[in-house]
């Protein structure tokens, strides 16, 4: 009888929608320890902010007129920045006490006195608070769905050197206040207003182009594909970012196939490493079912592909049947046809991961010019142990044959007759089939990470019904490099300037 709690869990799963086959947790360690990431982010922002274009300022007040043009950000220093998760969907970037150096051209006219030249100015105490809201887009991909930003500059300083220094001293307080007014404008209206659009663009366009490199549905090889669609919006707590993925393979020829997930839902509780990935039994089952449906779980060995020893043992075993055949067939090459009969099943337990396979083995003589003659057909049950590991971004499995049994599904007597074949067939599997399997699984399947990021120092842990991999992140490429490479065509790393204020900025 089904225990009540199983029904209860099934009910929870049913009301929760689809069960994830794969989960990923990024902990705040990735943000704290990952100085590289913060640094990369800073460098990236510095680069983006340096592309700010501040509109020209032109205005006049009575006899005084001015032009402020060619404003350029010459340097940007982000000394303090914090990157953290905030419930329930946000990644926060808080920059405080940054400084920005500017250079601009001034043209001032007061009655008949003209003054021109460049001014070096700096904005001190720049603080920028940005919240990137993370969500699942309709295609199942993680996206920055909204960016909110508050920026302020607490102090602006300018060095008005140059030819007309005395003029400033000479001129009335009016021009001084006008000068202050210009600085105020640069600081408040123009400058603050420029920072947020840059961050908005950085978040919505550039980070999203980085996130576009995370594979959602992609081909693994020429037979199967993997679906890493997010099932819901990513969820943040103060310490983690958690993502739930479908984590299901599908046969490429039937891309619409979806296997029902009745496996245990993986649970992620740890927070010590930068990142955790969990895969349920379903993830592996869907892989094997996809290969099964794609018709690749079969193998044919004929003639000299059959090891000599085995050939001899088989001919000896079936001697009784062979001698009755016509002489033209007796010397024909042997053919072994191995075919998996049902999708193999994976079982994950704390003690290890095993895969159970049931296959049929047909042994026949295959003369080149005549129909083949079947000598025997048997069923084999095999149990493989699988050891999962990560290499870079690829999840790999190394399989070993553990248990193996052949029997005839026709009669117990025939099964008895097959006992002598047990050992040589096991050897065949070990030398001819397992390397093939491992060769395929060695290529591995990519886990959904953006380009330029790999796992290092990973630890694989088996749990009941799922396995988890804890790892740290390693940046194989600079964030800037990846973003530049994936920058959408036509994106000029610039934000359109806001139009200059219409009113005169004096006082």
Instruction: Yes or no: say if 151 and 16 are a contact pair by the CB < 8 Å rule.
Output: no
Interface with ligand NAG, residue 374, by CB under 6 A:
no
**Angle between helix 35-49 and helix 192-201 axes, rounded to 10 deg:** 120
In terms of CB distance, is 301 or 390 closer to ligand NAG?
301
Sequence-separated contacts (24+) of 408-411 with Cβ below 8 Å: 408/376, 408/377, 408/378, 408/379, 409/378, 409/379
> Taking contact as CB under 6 A, which single stretch among the options 39-47, 136-144, 239-247, 248-256 is the one that binds ligand NAG?
248-256
Show contacts of 424-429: CB within 8 Å, 24+ apart: 424/309, 424/310, 424/313, 424/314, 425/310, 425/361, 425/380, 426/401, 427/307, 427/309, 427/310, 428/301, 428/307, 428/310, 428/336, 429/382, 429/401, 429/404
Where does 202-279 have alpha helices with state H? 208-211
Q: Which helix (DSSP H) or strand (DSSP E) does residue 490 occupy?
A: none
Q: Quick check: 152 binds ligand NAG (CB under 6 A)?
A: no
96 touches ligand NAG (CB under 6 A): yes
Q: Which stretch binds ligand NAG (CB under 6 A): 47-55, 102-110, 214-222, 344-352?
A: 102-110
First to last CA, the chain: 83
- Give yes or no for residue 155 binding ligand NAG (CB under 6 A): no
Q: What angle do CA 457, 460, 462 make, to 5 degrees?
A: 165
* CA dihedral angle for residue 35, residue 40, residue 41, residue 46, rounded to 10 degrees: 130
CB of 145 to ligand NAG, least distance (A): 7
Interface pick for ligand NAG out of 237, 360, 446, 486 (rule CB under 6 A): 360
What letter does residue 465 receive in the DSSP assignment?
S
- Cβ distance 44 to 484 under 8 Å? no
The H-assigned helical ranges of 372-505 are 412-418, 422-428, 434-442, 479-486
Between 152 and 396, CB nearer to ligand NAG? 152
Residue 97 touching ligand NAG (CB under 6 A)? yes
Residue 99 or 385 having the CB closest to ligand NAG: 99
If one asks whether residue 377 binds ligand NAG (CB under 6 A), the answer comes out as: yes
**CB-wise, 98 or 467, nearer to ligand NAG?**
98
Q: Is 486 in contact with 213 (CB distance < 8 Å)?
A: yes
Contacting residue, 159, 255, 342, 494, with ligand NAG by CB under 6 A: 255
68 contacts 56 by C-beta, under 8 angstroms: yes
Q: Is residue 65 part of the contact set for ligand NAG (CB under 6 A)?
A: yes
Of 90 and 271, CB closest to ligand NAG: 90
Stretch that binds ligand NAG, among 253-261, 276-284, 350-358, 467-475 (CB under 6 A): 253-261
Q: CB 300: neighbour CB atoms within 10 A?
A: 12
The answer to the question of residue 398 lying near ligand NAG (CB under 6 A) is no
Cβ distance to ligand NAG smaller for residue 107 or 237 = 107
Of the two residues 121 and 473, which places its CB atom closer to ligand NAG in the complex? 121
Q: Count the residues of the shown chain that bind ligand NAG, applying the rule CB under 6 A.
A: 22
Residue 101 touching ligand NAG (CB under 6 A): no
Rule CB under 6 A: is residue 109 a binding residue for ligand NAG?
yes
* 385: three-class secondary structure by DSSP: strand
Which CB, 82 or 304, lies closer to ligand NAG?
Answer: 82
Q: Which of 6, 11, 58, 312 binds ligand NAG (CB under 6 A)?
A: 58
Q: Is 358 in the site for ligand NAG (CB under 6 A)?
A: no
What does the angle CA 73 – CA 75 – CA 79 come to, to the nearest 5 degrees? 125
Which H or E run contains 371?
none
Of 279 and 404, the one with the shorter C-beta distance to ligand NAG is 404
Give the nearer residue to ligand NAG in terms of CB position, either 5 or 112: 112
Tell me: does residue 379 bind ligand NAG (CB under 6 A).
yes
> Contact between 81 and ligand NAG (CB under 6 A)?
no
Q: Stretches 104-112, 172-180, 231-239, 476-484: which one binds ligand NAG (CB under 6 A)? A: 104-112
Residue ranges that bind ligand NAG, judged by CB under 6 A: 58, 65-67, 82, 94, 96-97, 99, 107-109, 129, 146, 148, 254-256, 360, 377, 379, 409
């Amino acid at each position: 009888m089904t225990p009540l709690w199983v029904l209860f869990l099934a009910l929870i799963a049913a009301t929760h929608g689809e069960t994830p086959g794969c989960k990923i947790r990024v902990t705040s360690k990735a943000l704290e320890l990952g100085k590289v990431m913060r640094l990369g982010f800073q460098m990236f922002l510095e680069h983006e902010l340096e592309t700010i274009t501040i509109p020209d300022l032109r205005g006049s007040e009575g006899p005084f007129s001015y032009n402020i043009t060619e404003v350029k950000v010459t340097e940007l220093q982000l000394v303090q920045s914090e990157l953290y998760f905030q419930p329930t969907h946000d990644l926060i970037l808080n920059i405080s006490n940054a400084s920005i150096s500017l250079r601009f051209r001034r043209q001032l006219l007061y009655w008949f006195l003209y003054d021109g030249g460049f001014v070096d100015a700096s904005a001190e105490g720049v603080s920028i608070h940005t919240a990137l809201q993370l969500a699942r887009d309709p295609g199942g991909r993680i996206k920055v769905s909204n960016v909110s930003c508050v920026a302020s500059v607490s102090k602006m300083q300018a060095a008005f050197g140059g030819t007309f220094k005395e003029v400033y001293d000479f001129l009335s307080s009016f021009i001084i206040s006008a000068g202050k007014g210009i600085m105020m404008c640069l600081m408040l209206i123009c400058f603050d207003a420029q920072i947020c659009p840059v961050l908005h663009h950085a978040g919505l366009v550039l980070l999203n182009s980085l996130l576009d490199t995370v594979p959602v549905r992609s081909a693994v090889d020429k037979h199967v594909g993997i679906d890493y669609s997010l099932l819901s919006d990513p969820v943040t707590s103060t310490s983690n970012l958690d993502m739930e993925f479908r984590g299901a393979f599908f046969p490429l020829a039937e891309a619409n196939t979806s296997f029902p997930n009745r496996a245990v839902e993986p649970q992620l509780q740890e927070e010590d490493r930068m990142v955790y990935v969990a895969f349920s039994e379903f993830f592996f089952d869907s892989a094997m079912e996809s290969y099964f449906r794609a018709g690749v779980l079969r193998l044919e060995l004929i003639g000299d592909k059959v090891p000599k020893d085995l050939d001899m043992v088989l001919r000896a075993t079936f001697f009784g049947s062979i001698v009755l055949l016509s002489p033209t067939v007796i010397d024909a090459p042997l053919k072994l046809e191995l075919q998996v009969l049902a999708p193999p099943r994976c079982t994950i337990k704390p003690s290890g991961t095993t895969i159970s396979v049931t296959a049929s083995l047909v042994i026949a003589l295959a003369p080149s010019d005549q129909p083949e003659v079947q000598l025997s057909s048997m069923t084999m049950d095999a149990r493989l142990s699988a050891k999962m590991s990560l290499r870079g971004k690829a999840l790999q499995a190394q399989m070993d044959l553990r248990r193996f049994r052949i029997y005839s599904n026709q009669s117990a007597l025939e099964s008895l007759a097959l006992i002598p074949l047990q050992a040589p067939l096991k050897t065949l599997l070990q030398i001819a089939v397992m390397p093939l399997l491992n060769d395929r699984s060695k290529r591995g399947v990519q886990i959904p990470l953006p380009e330029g990021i790999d796992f290092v120092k990973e630890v694989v842990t088996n749990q009941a019904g799922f396995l988890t991999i804890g790892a740290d992140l390693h940046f194989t490429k600079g964030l800037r490099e990846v973003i530049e490479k994936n920058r959408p065509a036509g994106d000029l790393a610039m934000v359109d300037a806001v139009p200059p204020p219409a009113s005169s900025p004096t006082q």
